[in-house]
Amino acid sequence: MKGISTNPEQFAVWIQSFDICSHLSKSLDEMYNDAEALDKTVKPNRHKEEGKGRRELDAEDRVKILRVLWENSHPLTTETTTLHHITNGQVADGKVNVQDALKIGQDMSTLLSSSLPGGFHAPISKKVVTMKFKPKGVKFNGKIICDLEALFARLLVVGSKRRMELSALFDYELGPVPASIINEYGCLRKGNKSVIVQCLGILVPNPHPPDVVLVDASQLIYHVVWPTSGTVADLAASVGRWLNRYITQTFVIFDRYEQVSAKDHKRQRRAKQYQLLLTTPLPSRDKVMKNKTNKRRLGELLCTHSIGDHIKMVSGADSIVTHDEADISLISYMLDAARRGATTIHILSDDTVFVLMVCWCWKVGITCHLQMERWDVTVFNINLMNLGEQCCSILAMHALSRCDTTSYPAGKGKVSALKAMRVVPGDLLHFIGEEGATDLQITEAVRGFFLALYNQRKSAPLNVARYDIYQKRKTPSALKTLPPTERNAHLHGRRAHLQVLLWKAADRPDPPAVDITKFGWDKNIMLVLNGSPVAPCCTLPAVAAKLG
């Protein structure tokens, strides 16, 4: 018992040894004379922890143990025949055999004796399976995955047993991460972003021939034929063959990778770095594209390669703007081409650029033909989209419902987000991405969007909506299907605010100077989560899960 505290969880581990410990303590009292212990002239013939002082402390511990015992079920008088935890009633798995530990030990001892001397150095495997009450998670592909749903269910059970008001529990996240927007790995949840193009895009059966073609370089590299056993020069030739189907002026825009960007959270991969040259063997696509340094070096090499007279590979030094993200630079080039009198502008990119095109086409009143081509060669007419004032909110909607630097709310895709955007009252979402927006305005915008997203506009704040959703469902709600708490929703909103702030600066040559540590990221470009307790403090010892 030495060194072991008396909280309920640790106490449950060694309660079965209480009887033998009491017997040993009594025997020690009979072995030594207290008067002898007080006589400083007598040389002690025992360990310092066997003296009177330690025995007094042990007596106090026994009193505390008895007090704790009365607060829990008695393991020997219960009517159940199954093993269970005396603190919270957790039933042991069928594989648990700790109750047979004595017999298992005797059998192992007999087996070892019969194997001697030849089996003296043989390994001894662990046969006793205990009831592990503190599993942190399961290891998968080198990462620890926490069972968030099991933790959520246990917190609800413990809270109800302690006669807590259930609605008060939902003021807490009830998990080590906000499960609705952060996955079990602690990373941003990912969802299908291309749905928004399918919902809003208007197909053009016979697109106008473009004057200017703008291409997202990273997306292009993912869609050209990657040489299986070639060099960077071979890849450049493959890119050239793909782009030469356009006979007009073409700009291929690369990410700059020069500024501290929230996108670096997505780019932080574990792929090995390579010393790439035009003539060196080219690694696989994933080994290059999953490492920021490799991608930057590949872009530099491709920009030095001559692909065609009408094709310009735009490096960071050659760009007319200093935006770090290619998505924003594409819009800057689009606006520049429109100002120069282009009649048809053609852009090849993904869904985020589609949303930016819709917003900026309406915002600046572009009258030339504006077309977006997807990589399956379908072309959409941006001019025909008639969203009106909703174009002011579409950037905030896209950022709050999943982009490269923000999370996808579990089970709430772009279709739900579009519906929510249309019912959010007034101009709440307009504040997202505005340089002068206050924390209160951002909080109200995020709250209004999430309440509409979860169809809980009559519930406020989000903590109340979490409880309302839980109690109205006939089957128990999974933790990830509930909206985040107010505190973590605000941090999510700050990350979205930063991204929209950068998108709204596409008409400027330089991005706004921002400190990302003020927008839901830390200095290592890792997610910042709310530091409040994940559950009421009185429930955590019983659940005994190490969170954080």
DSSP 479-507: GGGSPPPHHHHHHHHHHHHHHHHHHTTTT
pLDDT per 10-residue tile (average), the chain, 548 residues: 59 73 76 55 61 80 77 56 60 77 92 89 87 49 56 67 75 86 85 85 92 95 87 90 92 88 65 70 84 86 88 89 95 97 95 95 95 92 90 95 93 94 89 94 95 87 91 81 94 96 96 93 87 76 50
Q: What is d(CA 37, CA 56) in angstroms, rounded to the nearest whole number?
A: 13
Same domain, 377 and 394: no
245: number of Cβ within 10 Å:
9
Q: What is d(CA 515, CA 537) in angstroms, rounded to the nearest whole number?
A: 34
Whole-number pLDDT of residue 547: 40
What CATH number has the domain bearing residue 239?
A: 3.40.50
Phi, psi of 372 (to 5 degrees): -120, 130
Whole-number pLDDT of residue 479: 86
Same domain, 406 and 332: no
Phi, psi of 309 (to 5 degrees): -65, -30
Same domain, 334 and 449: no
358 contacts 391 by C-beta, under 8 angstroms: yes
Strands (E), 254-298: none
Same domain, 334 and 467: no
Query: Residue 411: which region, alpha, beta or left (left: phi > 0; alpha: psi -120 to 50)?
Result: left
Whole-number pLDDT of residue 492: 96
Please check whether residue 161 lies inside any domain of the structure. Answer: no
Please check whether residue 279 lies inside any domain of the structure. Answer: yes
Pairing label, strands 249-253, 311-314: parallel
Q: What is d(CA 293, CA 300) in angstroms, rounded to the nearest whole number?
A: 11
Same domain, 355 and 434: no
Give the residue numbers spanning the domain of 225.
Answer: 202-384
Whole-number pLDDT of residue 141: 47
Identity of the residue numbered 492: H
Q: What is d(CA 423, CA 418) in angstroms, rounded to the nearest whole number?
A: 9
Last residue of a domain, one of 384, 417, 449: 384
Last residue of a domain, one of 334, 360, 384: 384
Please check whether residue 143 lies inside any domain of the structure. Answer: no
Question: From edge to edge, which strands make up the β-sheet containing 249-253?
Answer: 311-314, 249-253, 212-216, 344-348, 369-373, 379-381
Please check whether residue 167 lies inside any domain of the structure. Answer: no
**Total domain count, the chain:** 3
Same domain, 358 and 490: no
Same domain, 266 and 399: no
335 contacts 364 by C-beta, under 8 angstroms: yes
Q: Which residues contact 280 (CB under 8 A, 6 or more apart)?
A: 231, 232, 274
Please check whether residue 162 lies inside any domain of the structure. Answer: no
SS (H, E, C) 56-68: HHHHHHHHHHHHH
Same domain, 219 and 349: yes
360 contacts 331 by C-beta, under 8 angstroms: yes
Please check whether residue 137 lies inside any domain of the structure. Answer: no
Last residue of a domain, one of 50, 70, 90: 70
Please check whether residue 183 lies inside any domain of the structure. Answer: no
Instruction: Show the DSSP H helices in 162-203 as ranges.
Output: 166-169, 195-200
Same domain, 263 and 336: yes
Please check whether residue 448 lies inside any domain of the structure. Answer: yes
Same domain, 431 and 306: no
Collapsed DSSP state (helix, strand, coil) of residue 214: strand
Q: What is d(CA 479, CA 174) in angstroms, rounded to the nearest whole number?
A: 8
Same domain, 369 and 420: no
Same domain, 459 and 501: yes
